[in-house]
Amino acid sequence: MPAMLNGYEFTLTPNGTVKNLDLDHLLSLDSDITMLLLSLEYMVKQHVNHIPIDEIIRLFKELIDERRRLLNDLRA
């Protein structure tokens, strides 16, 4: 998961100005990913079975893919 540990450096311009929209987007994605992982942890610990694991994995993949796309755009 090294890709999850970086990216914030790309929200700065060469002169040090923060790209606020990109920073907000990245923070939002990371927050959503964190909440999903915490929900998954709770479900595993509490043996909650009413939500299909496939749906959680699908959402997790979507968020990771969106984060990767954002970082690729920021690097360009």
Other residues' Cβ atoms within 10 Å of the Cβ of residue 60? 15
Task: Determine contact, residues 26/7, Cβ cutoff 8 Å.
Answer: yes
**pTM, to two decimals:** 0.81
The pLDDT of residue 5 is 64
Which secondary-structure segment (H or E) carries 56? helix 53-75
d(CA 63, CA 56): 11
Q: 12 lies in which domain range?
A: 2-75
d(CA 66, CA 29): 8
The predicted-structure confidence for 14-58, as pLDDT tens digits, reads as follows 999 999 999 999 999 999 999 999 988 888 888 777 777 788 889
Question: How many domains are there within the chain?
Answer: 1
The pLDDT of residue 58 is 92
The pLDDT of residue 3 is 53
